[in-house]
A = this chain, B = another copy of it.
Amino acid sequence: MSTKKTYGLAAIAELAGVSTATVSNVLNKPSKVKESTRQRVLDAIEATQFVPNRAAATLRQGSNRMLGLVIPEIVNPFYAEIARGAADAADRLDYGIVLCVSNDDAQRELRQFEMLARHRTSGAMVVPVHADLGRLATLRLVGSRLLLIDRVASVTEGCSVAFDDVAGGRLAVEHLIETRGPRIALVNGERSIPQCADRREGSLLALAAHGIHESELREYEVEEMTIAAGRAVGLALADSLPDGIFCTNDQLALGVIRGLAERGIHVPDSAAVVGYGDLALATETLLTLTSVEQPKFEMGVVAVETLVDEIEHMDTHQHRVTQFQPTLVIRESAPA
């Protein structure tokens, strides 16, 4: 005769005249419940505007159906596009995305991992601040399943998704050689950055493929890969123009074009310029930029799908390393 008020699943159970176990099954394994019963339960849910409490499930199951996305920046369209892909896939698979902007701060990154761990987040996708393997191990300890983005992990350690930057560099320089000529300038970031090293390596491969000696390449290395740095290089290049200029990101390319323009040199008439990354800004300028495009959105999608596979099929899951191939998008700054 107890009229004690009940909440949550129990309230629905009472209303529908079944046990909480059945209500739970209606929600999670509908096939296990007889049609008529299920309908009764669904009606009760509808009638009461019941919203299941994920915290209870998380407590019981030990994980949260959310994925951490830990990236150094969010305003940068490179990461934003990855985030968009991740958000899209997560939505489809009924996971949530916890956005963590590490701001290139290792302390902060670690705090965020602890936060994710407290919440029993199902997994995390990370563009680590440092490639430092020791730190990664720590993160892996604190957190749950970890997937590396834009850094290649050894398959034994875990999953990762990244771009083939060697191929990208090669594409860019091949285009320049074939449409313009053998005298190439490379405007690159610091070679200690793996992506920069790879793009350079690709450039060298392209030269070699055309029988051009490595020493023919004019290399410029800048500390910050910004418009300003590019402009400085553009000014310097104006004195003796190469046939083609490969800049390892789009900001540098825009800067170079600007620097050349200030010296009265017009792109692409007097020299062709290829950028890298194909950020939105490649099309949003007065002179549209020929650029190496990376499938960033798809990478975000695959990151989530891979991680969810690891989470939901722990038993059969094999770690995978996915490498995406870039493509060359030809626009005004280096036409066909």
**A residues engaging B (CB < 8 A)?**
49, 51-56, 58-59, 64, 66, 69, 73-75, 77, 80-81, 83-84, 87-88, 91, 94, 96-101, 103, 108, 111-112, 114-120, 141-142, 227, 251, 254, 257-258, 261, 280-281, 283-287
Contact = CB atoms under 8 A, between A and B. Distances in A.
Count of identical protomers in the assembly: 2
Nearest to A100: B87
A108 B91 contact: yes
Count chain B CB atoms within 10 A of each CB in A52, A53, A141, A257 and give the residue with the most. A53
A285 B117 contact: no
Contact of A117 (B51, B73, B261, B286): B51
List the 4 closest pairs (A to B, CB-CB), nearest first: A55-B58, A99-B99, A87-B101, A55-B59
Given A98-B97, A284-B254, A84 B74 contact: yes
Nearest to A87: B101
A84 B91 contact: no
A112 B91 contact: yes
Nearest to A258: B286
A98 to B, nearest CB: 5
B77 A84 contact: no
Given A55-B58, A119-B66, A98 B96 contact: yes
Contact of A119 (B69, B96, B100, B257): B96
A99 B101 contact: no
Given A75-B280, A87-B99, A94-B115, 7 more contacts: A53-B118, A54-B120, A58-B58, A91-B100, A91-B108, A227-B283, A281-B284
A74 B55 CA distance: 27
A283 B83 CA distance: 24
A119 B52 CA distance: 8
Given A54-B120, A55-B58, A251-B284, A97 B99 contact: yes
Nearest to A121: B96
A117 to B, nearest CB: 5
Contacts of A83: 74, 99, 101
A142 B101 CA distance: 28
A258 B284 CA distance: 10
Contacts of A281: 280-281, 284-285
Nearest to A61: B55
Contacts of A53: 59, 118, 120
A251 B117 CA distance: 41
B64 A74 contact: no
A286 B284 contact: no
Given A69-B99, A91-B112, A108-B91, A54 B285 contact: no
A287 B286 contact: yes
21 contacts: A51-B118, A53-B118, A53-B120, A54-B120, A55-B58, A55-B64, A66-B119, A69-B99, A74-B74, A74-B84, A75-B80, A75-B81, A80-B80, A83-B99, A96-B98, A96-B119, A254-B285, A281-B285, A284-B285, A286-B286, A286-B287
